[in-house]
Structure 1
Amino acid sequence: MKESHSHLGWHEVVTGGSDGIGRAYAQELSKHGMNVVIISRNQGKLDRAARKIELTTGGEVKTIAADFSKDDIYGHIKENIEGLDIGILVNNVGILPNQIPCKLLETADLEERIHAVINCNVKAMVKMCRIVLPGMQEKGRGVILNVSSGIAKIPCPIYTLYAASKVFGERFSQGLQAEYKSKGIIIQTVAPFGVSTSMTGYQNPDMVTFTAEEFVRSSLKYLKAGDQTCGSITHTILGWIVQAIPIWVLQSEAFQHHFKEYVKERIKG
């Protein structure tokens, strides 16, 4: 197993790779013979994730500790992936301003949260593409998956800052795909709805809420399905339903109240 990994030589870089969807991408692609680089802020969590992936897949995992909410981390990341043949970049790192959704001014530590959300959900994607794209362009191949969210499809009060940051990711990906498609590079936005992770309070998986592993396995089947995918038939249908809701309903105080209560219940459950 190790032999095939080193023979292939391709590396997959995953931001926010110590947990949730990021770790699931790292593990799934490691099974397919890729060497993995996971980047996250907590070295202890990175080490545990790396051990788990190596034991499960027999692949090699490199870890880089970097806090994407900070500004000055990209020189350190670039230094540590210099010279690697990067075939896949998964821009997965992202944060919610609050686990329980609320109006913008009700956000605790709002100033810090604005900075952290924009750094993690917006800047990290652009900077990681800036680091990895030149090598992909030179080799004439590569895949960049930018993890967004289904709620980017609608104006979403009480998730306003988060949803807006995810809209940025979708537009950025679409433009970049148009620019680099002819170079043999696939750039795709992956926009799930419910996935049970620490960020979503480990909601109980059900018909519409996947485990991270289930979601990643499903989403990889849609790799050539165009510049955007919800990653599963279920979430695609959910996207159609959500987009059919009249805007005035979404923007009403009643909807905001019920949506907040629904999320609270799901997280408690």
Structure 2
Amino acid sequence: MDFMELFFIALGAAVIVCYGVKLLLFSRMLFPKMWFPLSKSFFTSLGEWAVVTGASEGIGRAYALALAEKGMNVVIMSRTKVTLDQVAKEIGDTTGQRVKVIVTDFMKDNVFSELEDQLRNLNIGVLVNNVGMLPSFIPCKFLETARLDQTITMTINCNVKTMAKMCKIILPGMENRGKGVIVNISSGIASIPFPLYTLYAASKVFVERFSQGLQAEYSDKGIIIQAVAPFGVSTRMAGYQKTNIVTLSPEDFVKSSLQYLRAGDKTHGSVCHIVLGWLLQSIPLKVLYAESMLHSLQDYIKKKAALNATICASNATFENGRNK
């Protein structure tokens, strides 16, 4: 057996081992309760309070409720006081935990000194940076975005600046106590450069890189920092799409994602979304970026949005008629 034969045998063996390890790591994601178990007292052992931004609806509301069900008091933040008060009452009535409401608009500048004052004396064990904005549900090219200058500022303030500032406020306390969890909500579409959602996808890439860098810096302090990148979740931002095996309800997604807290510095939060992430990264970008593909995406989402609007209008008409 000459040198070249030995080389190719060794190379083949290395490839088999490499893919075997990848398959093993992927298989762990199918059974998070077995591979990444959390004790019943895990969350309450971190601290008395959890802070959730963008908690008036959708994924943020689901995180606030789930953490309260696990025994934590929660601080919920959003810009809509009426909705926050409703969520606070629901959490209090169903869990018996204390709820602190903070009304703030993260799209604006200079809101963080006041937030820091309101959070100063709380023993915060969990931070969920959920608040975010999608410039346009209907995909469009960057220069076609409505009120582009204003949209750039609001997107960066909401999706990028807020996450970094909230970490600046809360991370020091976690470092001093040597424990804590920070969950930063990204998006599945940040897995690749995503045309027609360019600004939004780019802002979510920042979320992932920031989270991964922080985790490397503070993992030895006993702090878990993780980016969670969901695909389809039935929220207002996603046009309240009908739930199915791919599009999850906020409650089901959050319940699943919390099982992956020990699974690394980034997760898609559920088995089906993990598979979607793998598939998206396996498709050649030339295929995804083809003009016909982009037009098809636009047409599909426009039709979905129109259908959802029709259904909402019909439901509203039915309710009005019934209440007369």
Q: TM-score category by the smaller chain?
A: over 0.9
Asked whether 1:103 is paired with 2:141, we answer yes
Name the amino acid aligned to 1:266: K
Change (3 A) 1:47 1:247: same
Match of 1:81 in 2: 119
Asked whether 1:230 is paired with 2:268, we answer yes
Deviation of residue 9 (structure 1)? 5.9
Find 2:110's aligned residue among 65, 69, 72: 72
Deviation of residue 6 (structure 1)? 10
1:69–1:119 CA contact under 8 A, matched in 2:
yes
More helix by share: 2
Name the amino acid aligned to 2:107: S
Structure with max Cα Rg = 2
State the alpha-carbon separation in 2 of the partners of residues 59 and 29 from structure 1. Answer: 10
1:169–1:189 CA contact under 8 A, matched in 2:
yes
Number of matched pairs: 265
Question: TM-score, normalised to structure 2's length?
Answer: 0.79
Match of 2:57 in 1: 19
Match of 2:173 in 1: 135
Find 1:37's aligned residue among 72, 75, 80: 75
Deviation of residue 266 (structure 1)? 3.3
Find 2:233's aligned residue among 187, 195, 207: 195
Name the amino acid aligned to 1:196: S
Name the amino acid aligned to 2:87: A
Match of 1:219 in 2: 257
1:204–1:266 CA contact under 8 A, matched in 2:
no
Secondary structure, aligned partner of 2:206 = helix
- Is there any run of 5+ residues in structure 2 with no aligned partner, and where? 1-42, 309-324
Deviation of residue 265 (structure 1)? 3.2
State the alpha-carbon separation in 2 of the partners of residues 214 and 260 from structure 1. Answer: 28
Match of 1:60 in 2: 98
- Is there any run of 5+ residues in structure 1 with no aligned partner, and where? none
Q: Which moved more, 1:74-83 or 1:140-149?
A: 74-83
State the alpha-carbon separation in 1 of the partners of residues 245 and 278 from structure 2. Answer: 16
Question: Deviations along 1:104-163, whole A, 9 cap, x unmatched?
Answer: 111111111111110010000100000000000000000000000001001110000000
Deviation of residue 54 (structure 1)? 1.3
RMSD: 1.6
Secondary structure, aligned partner of 1:88 = strand
Question: TM-score, normalised to structure 1's length?
Answer: 0.95
More strand by share: 1
